[in-house]
Amino acid sequence: MSPVTKATKAIKETLELKDVKEVKETIDTKESKKPANLRANAMPVDGYVLSVDSKLKTRFDTAKEAMAAATKLKETYPVIQVAVYDAVERKYSPVELEVK
């Protein structure tokens, strides 16, 4: 194998590794934005939690994010009971569909 071929191969491998690292960083960024799931035996002490049929499911940092997720879920499945639990105030806010 000539030195030029070796250099070309080394450059290609370096570029491929760089692309793989960029893809992994993109995946890590997307995964880090997911809301946190809760443990089944622990009550949250901060944030807002989505409650589905009286079971706490997903934690959000802001009330706006939690209400958006709850509304979308309620629109998709209108039969289930959906509420947002405010962990600091320890209050549930039920989510109802708007009558059109």
Instruction: Give the mean model confidence (pLDDT) for residues 12-18.
Output: 61
Nearest to 43 by CA among 59, 27, 25: 59
The whole-model pTM stands at: 0.62
- Predicted local confidence at residue 34, as pLDDT: 65
- Predicted local confidence at residue 83, as pLDDT: 96
Q: What is the DSSP string of 11-24?
A: HHHHHHHHHHHHHH
User: Domain boundaries in the chain?
Assistant: 1-34, 36-95
Distance of alpha carbon 31 from alpha carbon 26, whole angstroms: 9
Nearest to 35 by CA among 84, 78, 95: 84
More confident residue, 38 or 96: 96
Kindly report, residue by residue over 29-74, the tens digit of the pLDDT. Answer: 555 556 666 677 778 889 999 999 999 999 999 999 999 999 999 9
